[in-house]
Amino acid sequence: MQLSIGDLARATGAKVPTIRYYEQIGLLAAPPRTEGGQRRYGRAEIERLNFIRHARELGFEIEAIRELLAMTGKPQASCHEADSIALSHLAEVEARIEKLTALRDELSRMISECSHGRICDCRIIEVLADHGQCAADHPH
Protein backbone atom coordinates (compact mmCIF):
# COMPACT_ATOMS: atom_id res chain seq x y z
CA MET A 1 0.00 0.00 0.00
CA GLN A 2 1.40 3.35 -1.02
CA LEU A 3 -0.60 6.39 0.10
CA SER A 4 -0.10 10.04 -0.72
CA ILE A 5 -0.04 12.49 2.17
CA GLY A 6 -3.65 13.44 1.36
CA ASP A 7 -4.69 9.77 1.45
CA LEU A 8 -2.86 9.32 4.76
CA ALA A 9 -4.68 12.35 6.14
CA ARG A 10 -8.04 10.92 5.08
CA ALA A 11 -7.20 7.45 6.41
CA THR A 12 -6.24 8.77 9.85
CA GLY A 13 -8.25 11.97 10.24
CA ALA A 14 -5.06 14.01 10.60
CA LYS A 15 -4.53 17.24 8.70
CA VAL A 16 -1.78 17.42 6.09
CA PRO A 17 0.08 20.26 7.92
CA THR A 18 -0.02 18.17 11.11
CA ILE A 19 1.52 15.20 9.31
CA ARG A 20 4.27 17.45 7.95
CA TYR A 21 4.83 18.88 11.43
CA TYR A 22 5.16 15.39 12.94
CA GLU A 23 7.72 14.58 10.25
CA GLN A 24 9.57 17.83 10.94
CA ILE A 25 9.88 17.08 14.67
CA GLY A 26 10.75 13.42 14.12
CA LEU A 27 7.59 11.70 15.39
CA LEU A 28 7.06 10.35 11.88
CA ALA A 29 10.02 9.34 9.78
CA ALA A 30 10.43 11.12 6.48
CA PRO A 31 8.74 8.81 3.99
CA PRO A 32 10.15 7.66 0.70
CA ARG A 33 9.27 9.87 -2.25
CA THR A 34 8.32 9.17 -5.80
CA GLU A 35 10.44 10.40 -8.69
CA GLY A 36 8.08 13.38 -8.77
CA GLY A 37 8.84 14.14 -5.11
CA GLN A 38 5.53 13.00 -3.63
CA ARG A 39 5.62 11.40 -0.20
CA ARG A 40 4.46 7.77 -0.02
CA TYR A 41 3.16 6.17 3.15
CA GLY A 42 2.27 2.60 4.10
CA ARG A 43 0.53 0.63 6.86
CA ALA A 44 3.29 1.36 9.40
CA GLU A 45 2.83 5.12 9.02
CA ILE A 46 -0.95 4.78 9.39
CA GLU A 47 -0.51 2.83 12.62
CA ARG A 48 2.10 5.25 13.98
CA LEU A 49 0.02 8.30 13.11
CA ASN A 50 -3.06 6.73 14.69
CA PHE A 51 -0.98 6.10 17.85
CA ILE A 52 0.18 9.73 17.90
CA ARG A 53 -3.31 11.11 17.29
CA HIS A 54 -4.86 8.97 20.00
CA ALA A 55 -2.15 9.94 22.48
CA ARG A 56 -2.70 13.62 21.64
CA GLU A 57 -6.46 13.20 22.08
CA LEU A 58 -5.73 11.84 25.56
CA GLY A 59 -3.63 14.94 26.25
CA PHE A 60 -0.13 13.46 26.19
CA GLU A 61 2.60 15.98 25.41
CA ILE A 62 4.81 15.51 22.35
CA GLU A 63 7.86 14.47 24.38
CA ALA A 64 5.88 11.82 26.25
CA ILE A 65 4.60 10.50 22.92
CA ARG A 66 8.16 10.43 21.60
CA GLU A 67 9.22 8.33 24.60
CA LEU A 68 6.22 6.00 24.29
CA LEU A 69 6.89 5.51 20.58
CA ALA A 70 10.52 4.68 21.31
CA MET A 71 9.32 2.00 23.72
CA THR A 72 7.28 0.32 20.99
CA GLY A 73 10.59 -0.60 19.34
CA LYS A 74 11.45 -2.76 22.36
CA PRO A 75 8.37 -4.98 22.76
CA GLN A 76 9.98 -7.29 25.33
CA ALA A 77 11.13 -4.48 27.65
CA SER A 78 9.36 -3.68 30.91
CA CYS A 79 6.43 -1.31 30.62
CA HIS A 80 7.48 0.46 33.84
CA GLU A 81 8.48 3.61 31.94
CA ALA A 82 5.16 3.68 30.08
CA ASP A 83 3.34 3.29 33.40
CA SER A 84 5.36 6.17 34.85
CA ILE A 85 4.53 8.43 31.91
CA ALA A 86 0.83 7.57 32.13
CA LEU A 87 0.76 8.03 35.92
CA SER A 88 2.45 11.42 35.62
CA HIS A 89 -0.05 12.48 32.98
CA LEU A 90 -2.94 11.24 35.14
CA ALA A 91 -1.67 13.37 38.04
CA GLU A 92 -1.57 16.42 35.73
CA VAL A 93 -5.12 15.71 34.54
CA GLU A 94 -6.38 15.33 38.11
CA ALA A 95 -4.75 18.64 39.09
CA ARG A 96 -6.42 20.36 36.14
CA ILE A 97 -9.77 18.83 37.13
CA GLU A 98 -9.35 20.21 40.66
CA LYS A 99 -8.62 23.69 39.28
CA LEU A 100 -11.55 23.52 36.87
CA THR A 101 -13.86 22.32 39.64
CA ALA A 102 -12.80 25.27 41.81
CA LEU A 103 -13.38 27.64 38.90
CA ARG A 104 -16.81 26.15 38.20
CA ASP A 105 -17.77 26.46 41.85
CA GLU A 106 -16.60 30.08 42.00
CA LEU A 107 -18.48 31.02 38.84
CA SER A 108 -21.63 29.28 40.10
CA ARG A 109 -21.37 31.13 43.42
CA MET A 110 -20.89 34.47 41.68
CA ILE A 111 -23.89 33.90 39.45
CA SER A 112 -26.11 32.67 42.27
CA GLU A 113 -25.22 35.70 44.43
CA CYS A 114 -26.09 38.13 41.64
CA SER A 115 -29.47 39.79 42.10
CA HIS A 116 -29.79 40.13 38.32
CA GLY A 117 -30.49 43.84 38.75
CA ARG A 118 -28.29 46.73 37.68
CA ILE A 119 -24.58 46.65 36.87
CA CYS A 120 -23.82 49.00 39.78
CA ASP A 121 -25.14 46.28 42.15
CA CYS A 122 -23.87 43.27 40.19
CA ARG A 123 -22.14 40.69 42.35
CA ILE A 124 -20.30 39.25 39.34
CA ILE A 125 -18.72 42.62 38.57
CA GLU A 126 -17.83 43.13 42.25
CA VAL A 127 -16.09 39.77 42.56
CA LEU A 128 -14.24 40.17 39.26
CA ALA A 129 -13.00 43.57 40.43
CA ASP A 130 -11.76 42.24 43.79
CA HIS A 131 -10.09 38.83 43.90
CA GLY A 132 -10.35 38.93 47.70
CA GLN A 133 -14.10 38.34 47.38
CA CYS A 134 -13.57 34.93 45.80
CA ALA A 135 -14.60 32.05 48.03
CA ALA A 136 -11.93 29.70 46.69
CA ASP A 137 -8.29 30.21 45.84
CA HIS A 138 -7.53 30.03 42.13
CA PRO A 139 -4.66 31.31 40.01
CA HIS A 140 -4.45 35.08 39.58
Q: Is residue 3 in some structural domain?
A: yes
- Supply the pTM of this predicted model: 0.77
Is 26 contained in some domain?
yes
Cα distance between residue 30 and residue 36, in whole Å: 16
Fill in the DSSP letter of residue 29: P
Domain count along the chain: 1
Asked if residue 5 belongs to a domain, the reply is: yes
Domain for residue 87, yes or no? no
- Per-residue pLDDT tens for 57-99? 999 999 999 999 999 989 898 999 999 999 999 999 999 999 9
pLDDT band at 140 (very low <50, low <70, confident <90, very high): low
- Read off the CATH number of the domain in which 16 is found: 1.10.1660.10
Over residues 96-110, the pLDDT tens digits come to 999 999 989 988 888
What is the Cα–Cα distance from 98 to 104, expressed in whole angstroms?
10
pLDDT at 19 over 90: yes
Q: In this structure, is residue 128 part of a structural domain?
A: no
Residue 41 domain boundaries: 1-59
Give the count of beta carbons closer than 10 Å to the beta carbon of residue 93.
12
91 falls within a domain: no
Query: Do 60 and 68 contact (CB within 8 A), yes or no?
Result: yes
DSSP class of residue 120 equals G
